[in-house]
Amino acid sequence: MTATPVDDALSEPAGRVGRSWTAALSLANGAIWVGWYGPLQILLALQAQDLAPAGTSKETVLAWVTGAGAVVSLASNPLFGALSDRTVSRFGRRTPWIVAGTVGGAAALLLLSAAGSVWWMAAGWCLVQLTLNAAFAAVTAAVPDRVPRLQRGAVGGWLGAAQILGVVVGTGLATAAGGVGAGYAACAVFTLAGVLPYVLRHRDPRLAPRDRPPFAWRSFARSFWLSPRRYPDLGWAWLTRFLINLSNALVLLYLLYYLRDRLHYPDPDEGVLILTAVNGVTLLATVVVGGVWSDRVGRRKPFVLWSGVLMAVATALLSGWQTWPGAIVAAAVLGVGFGVFTSVDFALMTDVLPKAMDRGKDMGVINIANSLPQVAAPALAAPLVTHLGGYRVLYLVAAGIGLAGALLVTRIRGVE
């Protein structure tokens, strides 16, 4: 195990991290996304179809279940990030939460696989979100803990590559396992196995007991509010991420139903896997390159702006070109844009963090911009699809939201 000095936890990292550390953290990140996106892409939709009560549509059930899970994610990510900030342990601040979160997440996935009602399904998904967000908060906080600023684009690129591979692997496992229960079990096993190289080989910087501030409930609760007036760059960066992720969430939420009910694709499960794979290939082609390029030129905003514009164009294609070839082209273009956005926006976010002591909590607040769209997307998408124009209007609205997010990055002043 690689040792790290005790007093490094609150210092600004200066030495470059090695390939082994980056690979292990990326694998852990990807494993967590397998635990999320096997259910989100395939398994929850199949369960919603089977468990929807008479008179209630599968779309409504899926929207309520994913929305409830996203509410849990909203609270748990910054909470566990803050708890990891304060953790004094021989294993560092982050590793105990990565281990606890993934073990709990695997158990929750198995519980969810046995759901016999919508309420059970919702409770199981909320537990998955609670536990895996504990691990995810710790994984993302490890980057500003260990990675110097001019390497964060590259590391963010590898984390982004692992993220999309996690989506592809999760979708593949859910599709190929041979049933809902087997799909959940496969995702649970992969999630557990994927974190082992990091927790066994790499030790986090340890927080000295003398550096942990006294705990008071009132100040602890107040610390979760990061005033946009006091930290305007963080506010604009957060809003940019939220809007672009909301656009992406609107694209993904009803993808299975879009292929089956609108495009009449003969095997919609297989269609989701094909589109995810196409999107993953083009994303992988740009995610690391975009991050490395951003590091070399020392700029973030132009990459975020133009990748967001490209994603909006791809989303608009789903509205205006509603055919299977159109879906493939849109998936490919969306992957190109999201690849660059994923790596460079992650680096931009770490560049605007206020305090070293609060990296985990602040990254958790930033990660709300990933999970809040899961709450907003079902509430927005369900009426659009069922009452206000269907999938054509849904994807047109999603394109407009993504474009707005891309343009707002120009308001950031402290980062080029």
Task: Tell me the pLDDT of the chain (416 aa) as tens digits.
Answer: 443 443 467 677 777 888 999 999 999 999 999 999 899 888 998 999 888 888 778 888 888 898 888 889 888 989 999 999 889 888 888 999 999 999 999 999 999 999 999 999 999 999 999 999 999 999 999 998 888 888 988 998 899 889 878 988 998 899 888 889 999 999 999 999 999 999 999 888 888 887 787 877 887 888 787 777 888 888 888 999 999 999 988 888 878 888 888 888 888 888 888 888 888 889 888 999 998 898 888 888 889 998 999 999 999 988 888 888 899 999 999 999 998 998 898 888 888 887 777 778 888 888 888 778 877 888 888 888 777 777 888 889 999 999 999 999 888 886 76
Is residue 98 included in any domain, yes or no? yes
Domain assignment of residue 128, yes or no: yes
Longest CA pairwise span in the chain (Å) = 63
Predicted local confidence at residue 5, as pLDDT: 40
Burial of 264 (0-12, 13-18, 19+ CB in 10 A): exposed
The token duo for 48 is: 């919603």
SS3 call for 266:
coil
Is 2 inside any structural domain? no
Cα dihedral angle (281, 284, 290, 293), rounded to 10 degrees?
Answer: -120
Residue 331 in tokens: 């998936």
Token representation of residue 116 = 């016999």
Residue 230 has what pLDDT? Answer: 82
- CA-based nearest residue to 346, from 369, 376, 330: 369
C-alpha span between 240 and 84 (Å, rounded): 26
Residue 205, domain member (yes or no): no
- The predicted pLDDT at position 6 comes to 38
Instruction: Enter the pTM of the model.
Output: 0.80
Reading the block at residue 211, the tokens are 């550096």
Domain range for 276:
17-200+228-411
Torsion angle of C-alpha atoms 14, 20, 25, 29, degrees rounded to 10: 140
Query: Does any domain span residue 208?
Result: no
Give buried/exposed letters for 207-241 (b at 16+ CB in 10 A, else e): beeeeeeeeeeeeeeebbebeeeebebbbbbbbbb
Question: What CATH number is given to the structural domain containing 392?
Answer: 1.20.1250.20
Q: H-type helices in 177-222, by residue range?
A: 180-201, 217-222
| C-alpha dist (Å) from residue 61 to 114, 179, 312 | 17, 20, 28
The count of structural domains within the chain is: 1
Distances (CA, A) of 74 to 251, 274, 307, 358, 374: 20, 30, 26, 17, 9
Look up residue 262 and give its two tokens: 């609108």
Q: Does residue 288 lie within any of the structural domains?
A: yes
Strand, coil or helix: 13 = coil
Domain for residue 330, yes or no? yes
Would 210 be classed as within a structural domain? no
The predicted pLDDT at position 283 comes to 86
Distance in angstroms (rounded) separating the CA atoms of residues 93 and 121 = 32
CA distances from residue 161 to 4, 310, 325 in whole angstroms, order as listed:
27, 19, 25
Which residues have a Cβ under 8 Å from the Cβ of 338 and sit 6 or more positions away? 164, 248, 279, 283, 307, 311
β-bridge mates for residue 2, sequence order: 202
Q: How far apart are CA 128 and CA 382, in angstroms?
A: 23
